[in-house]
Chains A and B, each alone.
Chain A
C-alpha cells in the first residue's frame, strides 16, 4: 500500500477541514440542502481534486482534463466547496447557494457552474453520462479518466445497473466509480428501506474490478485510485465505507441530517468542532 508523505497527508486533511466548513456555512446560509451525504464524501472528493485529477480551473473545458460526475446530485455542496477551494469560481459564490440567479443551483447544473461536467440531481443518471464520456475518451484515444460518485441509496435505481452492465461490456477501464457507502437514505437505513447489499458482490457479478476501502482514509482512497488506474479491460468500483454527516458530531449517522440545513446556532457548533 502506498503511503502518503506526512506533508501531503496534512495538506489533504487541512483541505478536507476547510471544505467541511464551507459545506456547513453554505447550507446554513441557503436554509435548505443536504449536509449528511455531502460530509460523507469530503475525503473522496478532496483526494480526487487535490491529489489525483488533471484539471485546470482556469480552463474548465480543457479537452484533456479528467472528469468527475456527481451522480448523487444532492451532494452538490461538497462539489461546490471543492470547486471553489480549487479556484473554479470565487468562494463568495458559495453563500449564494440555492438563491435566485445563483451559479450554484440546488443540484449541479453544467451550464451555470464552471467545473460541473454534467447536470445531475435526478438519481441514477450520472453513471450513464460518465459512460458516454469514457466511451468518447476511448474513441478519441485520449488519456483522460472519468470518476463518478454514486450514493448507496442511489443503487436502488434500475438505470444504475443498465449503466454498470454497459461499462463492463465496453471495457471502460478509464472509468472509476466510488460508492459513498454511508448506509443511510432519506427514509432510513438503506437495508431497511430497500437493501442494495451486498454492494461489492453486485459489481463483481457485473465483471467490475472492486476495491473496498474506508472512505475517510486518504491513504486507502489514493491507493485504490492507483489500483484502478492499473486495471486493464474493466472498470473499477471503489466501495467506500463512510459515515453520513462525518466531522460534525451531532450529524454523524443521523438520518435526519440527510436533507436539512443547520440553523445559525447549529452552524456555529459545527464550525467550532471542525476548528477544534
Chain B
C-alpha cells in the first residue's frame, strides 16, 4: 500500500522551502492558514505572510499590487472561495494585466468531505480555464505537488494550482519523476482505450487499469497535471491509437478536463469519449471515500465506462 499524503501538506512544506531560496515570495491567506498549510511559511517568514482575514476579494487584489511591485505572491484559501468568490478580481486585477500571482487553492472537489456542497468546489477548473492566459495545474499526488509549485514559480504570469484536503496515495517517486509543465505523463500503456485523468483521480484510474488488465483489457493511463495549456499532441496521438477516450476528474464534467479533452478531439480527431466526474450536480456531506463512491468516482465505475466505450467502437 502506497504512502498517503494530502497534496495541501506537500504544498505547505514546498512553499516554506521555496521561501528560503527566493526572498520575493510572499504568501497571503484568508483566515485558513491552518487548513491550507500556509501556516508553515507564516511561522518561518512572518514578515512575508499577510493574513487578509475572511476577505478573498481583497486578498486577490492585494496580491496583484504586490506582484506589480515585484513580489511573487501565492494566495491560498479553499478552491471554491478563491475561484468563485474572487473570480472577477482574479480575472480583472490579476489575469488581465498578466500579473505574476500564484493561486494555490486547497480543499478542491468533493473530498473536502463532511463540510458539504458549499465547500466542495466542482467548478473551479471551468472558471479558471475560461480566463485568458491562466495556467492550471492539478497535481495527482504529493510529489507532483512539489514539482508543480516549483514549476509555477518559473512561469511568469498567473497560475492556478488545485490542491486537496484528503490524503491520497503517492504515485510518483521524487528521484525518477520528471515534471514538464504542459506535458501529460503516460503511466500505463495499452491498445484498447485511453484513460485521461487528473488530480486525485489518477490513482483511481491506475486501479481501474489493474481491474481491466485482469479482464484482458489493456488501457493507456495518462496523468494530465497541466489542464491549461493542455497536451494536445499526446491526447490526439493516444486517441488515434486506441479510438476510445475516458476522462476522469474530481470536478464537474462541464468545463473541466473532460471538456478540455473533448474540445481538442472534436477539432482534430473526433473520438468516442466518456467523461467521468460530477454529472452537473452539487456534492453533499459525507466521508471522502463514501462520496467518491456515491458519485461514481471509483476504479470500478471507470473500468465499466471503459468496457462500455470499447463495446461501442
Contacts and interface: CB of A to CB of B under 8 A. Distances in A.
B68 A122 contact: no
Interface residues of B, number: 30
A244 to B, nearest CB: 25
A139 B69 CA distance: 11
Contact of A131 (B47, B58, B88, B92): B58
B222 to A, nearest CB: 35
A139 B59 CA distance: 17
A268 to B, nearest CB: 36
A271 interface: no
Interface in A118-165: 118-122, 124-137, 139-140, 158-159, 162-163, 165
Interface string B42-66: 0000011010110101111111111
A199 interface: no
A135 B27 CA distance: 12
B55 A132 contact: no
B114 interface: no
A204 interface: no
Interface residue tally on A, bucketed by range: 20 to 34
Interface stretch (A75-83, A109-117, A213-221, A254-262): A109-117
B96 interface: yes
Contact of B66 (A117, A124, A133): A133
Nearest to B30: A162
Nearest to B89: A125
B85 to A, nearest CB: 10
Contacts of B48: 139
Q: Shortest 10 CB-CB distances between A and B: which pairs?
A: A132-B65, A128-B61, A136-B69, A162-B58, A129-B65, A162-B55, A132-B66, A132-B62, A119-B97, A133-B65
29 contacts: A109-B97, A110-B68, A111-B98, A118-B93, A119-B93, A120-B93, A122-B88, A124-B57, A125-B61, A127-B61, A128-B60, A128-B62, A128-B89, A129-B61, A129-B62, A129-B64, A130-B65, A132-B63, A133-B65, A133-B66, A134-B65, A135-B62, A136-B65, A137-B69, A139-B71, A159-B57, A162-B55, A162-B57, A165-B55
Interface of B: 26, 47-48, 50, 52-53, 55, 57-71, 73, 88-89, 92-93, 96-98
Contacts of B58: 128, 131, 159, 162-163, 166
Contacts of B26: 136, 139
A135 B89 contact: no
A61 to B, nearest CB: 10
Contacts of B47: 139
Given A132-B63, A135-B66, A136-B71, A119 B57 contact: no
Residue in A132, A137, A158 with the greatest tally of chain B CB atoms within 10 Å: A132
A121 B92 contact: yes
Query: What is the predominant secondary structure among interface residues of chain A facing chain B?
Result: helix
Given A122-B88, A125-B89, A159-B58, 19 more contacts: A110-B68, A110-B97, A118-B65, A118-B93, A119-B93, A119-B96, A121-B92, A124-B57, A128-B62, A131-B62, A132-B62, A132-B63, A132-B71, A132-B73, A133-B69, A135-B65, A162-B57, A166-B53, A170-B50
Query: What is the predominant secondary structure among interface residues of chain B facing chain A?
Result: helix
A109 B92 CA distance: 10
A135 B55 CA distance: 17
